[in-house]
């Protein structure tokens, strides 16, 4: 890892989409002001600018998905291709985020789903697959169709403003977590950093569900009345591998069937200002199975606003083949890609850079993975799970889901201990009326089918 100008660099910069209601509410309650205004974004391919998105909430609200299809300024994608997405509405109605819906759609790939519903090759390649690469961090043939439907509905399709996004004006750690931890510390919470959990102490009374009584961190041990894990897939796999107490349970051993995706996060400091039309940008078509984003940090981060040259962050998802590149090769590739999107980068000199390789950094929602994901309640009575890969029915994704599952797990602890007030959890905005109607009709037809047709074929 090379750290430009000796500064620590948080891996990746993080957007907060319009439906992140619980995080926005937390930030408001903490009295923080960490976000930029709503920003417009652009999408690039090796052919140049492909599409620019408006701020959807500023435009007259149309029933979903009309605003999403009509308002963005597509530079190349013909209307006919965009209209080929309409049959996909049937799958969106059928996928209601319930357990049976996940089981129906999880075993097929997103690519098969789009093919079966008649999406044109161009719309898939130039629009849906890029969204999967930056939303689920993997190409369509490696994504569960259930995850694709859930993610696309939450971030883009459910309500017109859902795709609007704000960015943290610095690192999330500094601007949100640090003041949040300070507040918790004042309330009497002890926050211990640099303590890696290596095992749990479990008491197995044959007459009751097993209980966690302690948390082991290397050679230290802490007593515990309840435990909530908030680690990613790779983190929990490492814990299970070294934990005789957890590996006794098939639910935890089965976590070894889950995958995680490699990410490459880079930052370039340029000797001059390059005019980047939009602060946040997604790119596709440069590598077959890699998507990437770039951000104008002069526009987004307070720290870089007054910098004499451009500071740009470029993050690559499903970056497996890029991780072996040297820092020098990586920086040359990033500059070359940036110059394809924004030609002004060609003349700029890179005077400093940071390259962070993140193997197995984000959850891989692979086809068939749903059966191995855990719910908040584990087989151990007082051990609970949270994170963006935990099964719940809220409907959110990414950071908002990590936070919501944390609240859900905390509420389970409160319920179990019989003291404390459960945290309120804001649900996602209700489906629009025509979607509610479509879903009711779909459920009716499905229940007739289940009642009168033999359940002989694969679902
Ligand atoms: C480059 C990149 C860009 C992203 N962009 C966005 C975005 O724009 N918007 C968005 O909403 N989401 C984004 N995400 C996804 C987002 O970061 C995740 O959804 C979110 O961080 C998940 O939170 P989590 O708490 O489940 O896990 P994590 O954030 O992964 O936190 C898990 C923590 O557990 C710690 N840990 C692991 N093992 C142990 C152990 N044994 N003991 C103690 N601690 C341990 C880790 O160090 C880590 O701090 C991005 C991710 C990446 C990598």
Residue 234 CB less than 6 A away from ligand 1 = no
Looking from the CA of residue 196, the nearest atom of ligand 1 is: 42
- How many whole angstroms from 179 Cα to the centroid of ligand 1? 18
Per-residue pLDDT tens listing for the chain (459 residues): 334 444 445 667 889 999 999 999 999 999 999 999 999 999 999 999 999 999 999 999 999 999 998 999 999 999 899 999 999 999 999 999 999 999 999 999 999 999 999 999 999 999 999 999 999 999 999 999 999 999 999 999 999 999 999 999 999 999 999 999 999 999 999 999 999 999 999 997 777 889 999 999 999 999 999 999 999 999 999 999 999 999 999 999 999 999 999 999 999 999 999 999 999 999 999 999 999 999 999 999 999 999 999 999 999 999 999 999 999 999 999 999 999 999 999 999 999 999 999 999 999 999 999 999 999 999 999 999 999 999 999 999 999 999 999 999 999 999 999 989 999 999 999 999 999 999 999 999 999 888 887 777 777
Same domain as 103, residue 27: no
Over the range 181-204, which residues count as b (16 or more CB within 10 Å of their CB) and which as e? eeeeeeeeeeeeeeeebebbebee
Are both 97 and 157 inside the same structural domain?
yes
Tell me, yes or no, whether 85 and 144 share the same domain: yes
As for how many domains the chain has, the answer is 3
Assigned token pair, 311: 């500071």
**What is the model's pTM?**
0.95
CA atoms within 13 A on the CB side of 61: 8
Q: Would residue 429 count as lying in a domain?
A: no
Range of the domain at 73: 56-163
Question: How far apart are the C-alpha atoms of 360 and 368, rounded to whole Å?
Answer: 18
Domain CATH code at residue 308: 3.90.660.10
Q: What b/e string do you get for 56-69 counting C-beta neighbours within 10 Å, with b at 16 or more?
A: beeeeeeebbebbb
3-state helix, strand, coil in the chain (%, to 5): 40, 20, 40
The response to whether residue 361 sits with its C-beta less than 6 Å from ligand 1 reads: yes
- The pLDDT value given to residue 248: 94
Is 248 contained in some domain?
Answer: yes
Q: Is the CB of 398 under 6 A from ligand 1?
A: yes
Atom from ligand 1 closest to the CA of residue 361: 53
Atom index in ligand 1 nearest the CA of residue 15 equals 8
Q: Examine residue 445 and state whether it is found in any structural domain, yes or no.
A: no
What are residue 18's phi and psi, to 5 degrees? -50, -40
Would you say the C-alpha torsion 105, 111, 114, 117 has a positive or negative sign?
A: negative
Same domain, 300 and 373: no
Burial level of 113, CB count in 10 A (0-12/13-18/19+)?
A: buried
Which residue is it, tokens 């605003």? 67
Domain boundary among 303, 337, 364: 364
246 lines ligand 1 (CB under 6 A): no
Q: Is 434 in the pocket of ligand 1 (CB under 6 A)?
A: no
- The answer as to whether 247 is a domain residue is yes
Q: Are residues 216 and 347 in the same domain?
A: no
- pLDDT for position 3: 41
Instruction: Determine the Cα–Cα distance for residues 134 and 136; give it in Å rounded to an integer.
Output: 6
* CA 363–ligand 1 middle distance (angstroms): 9
Q: Angle, to 10 degrees, between the axis of helix 21-29 and the axis of helix 398-417?
A: 70
Residue 427 lies in a domain: no
Collapsing DSSP states into helix, strand and coil, what is residue 283?
strand
pLDDT confidence of residue 10 = 62
Query: Residue 127: inside a domain, yes or no?
Result: yes
The answer to whether 253 and 240 have CB atoms below 8 angstroms apart is: yes
Pair (91, 135) in one structural domain: yes
| The domain boundary residue, chosen from 324, 343, 364 | 364
Q: Are 149 and 275 within one domain?
A: no
**Whether 240 and 370 share a structural domain:** yes
Do 250 and 266 reside in the same domain of the chain? no
The CATH code of the domain that includes 376 is 3.50.50.60
pLDDT score for 6: 40
> If you ran DSSP here, which 8-state letter would residue 344 be given?
G
Could you give phi then psi for residue 67, rounded to 5 degrees?
-60, -40
Give the residue carrying structure tokens 């319920």: 415
Assigned domain for 182 exists: no
Residue 382 sits in the same domain as residue 251: yes
Classify residue 236: in a domain, yes or no.
Answer: yes
Q: Put the strands of the sheet holding 199-203 in their side by side order.
A: 199-203, 211-217, 220-223
The secondary structure of 398-427, three-state, reads: HHHHHHHHHHHHHHHHHHHHCCCCCCCCCC
Same domain, 251 and 264: no
């Amino acid at each position: 890892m090379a750290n430009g100008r000796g500064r620590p660099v948080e891996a990746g910069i993080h957007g907060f989409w319009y439906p992140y209601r619980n995080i926005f509410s937390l930030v408001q309650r903490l009295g923080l002001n960490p976000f930029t205004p709503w920003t417009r974004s652009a999408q690039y391919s090796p052919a140049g600018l492909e599409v620019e998105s408006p701020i959807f909430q500023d435009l007259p609200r149309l029933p979903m998905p009309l605003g999403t299809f009509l308002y963005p300024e597509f530079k190349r994608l013909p209307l006919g291709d965009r209209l080929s997405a309409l049959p996909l509405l049937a799958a969106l109605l059928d996928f209601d985020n319930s357990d049976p819906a996940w089981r129906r759609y999880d075993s097929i790939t997103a690519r098969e789903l789009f093919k079966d519903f008649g999406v044109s090759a161009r719309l898939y390649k130039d629009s849906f697959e890029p969204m999967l690469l930056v939303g689920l961090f993997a190409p369509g043939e490696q994504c569960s169709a259930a995850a694709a439907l859930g993610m696309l509905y939450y971030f883009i399709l459910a309500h017109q403003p859902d795709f609007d996004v704000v960015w943290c004006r610095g690192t999330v750690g500094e601007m949100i977590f640090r003041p949040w931890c300070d507040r918790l510390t004042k309330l009497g919470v002890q926050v211990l950093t640099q303590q890696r959990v290596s095992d749990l102490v479990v008491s197995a009374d044959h007459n009751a569900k097993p209980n966690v009584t302690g948390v082991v961190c290397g050679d230290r041990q802490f007593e515990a009345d309840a435990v909530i894990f908030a680690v990613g897939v790779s983190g929990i796999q490492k814990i299970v591998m070294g934990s005789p107490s957890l590996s006794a349970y098939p639910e935890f051993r089965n976590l070894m069937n889950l995958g995680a995706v490699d990410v490459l996060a880079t930052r370039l400091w340029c000797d001059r200002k390059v005019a980047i039309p939009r602060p946040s940008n997604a790119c596709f078509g440069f590598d077959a199975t890699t998507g990437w984003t770039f951000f104008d940090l002069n526009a987004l981060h307070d720290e870089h606003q007054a910098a004499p040259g451009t500071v740009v962050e470029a993050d690559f998802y499903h970056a497996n083949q890029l991780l072996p590149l040297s820092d020098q090769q990586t920086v040359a590739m990033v500059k070359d890609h940036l110059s394809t999107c924004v030609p002004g980068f060609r003349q700029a000199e890179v005077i400093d850079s940071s390259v962070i390789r993140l193997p197995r950094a984000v959850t891989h929602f692979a086809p068939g993975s749903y059966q191995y994901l855990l719910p908040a309640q584990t087989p151990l009575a007082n051990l609970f799970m949270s994170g963006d890969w935990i099964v719940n029915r809220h409907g959110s994704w990414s950071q908002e889901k990590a936070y919501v599952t944390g609240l859900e797990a905390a509420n389970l602890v409160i319920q179990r201990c019989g003291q404390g007030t459960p945290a309120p959890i804001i649900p996602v905005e209700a489906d629009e009326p025509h979607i509610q109607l479509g879903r009711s009709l779909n459920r009716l037809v499905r229940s007739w089918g289940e009642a009168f047709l033999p359940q002989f074929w694969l679902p």
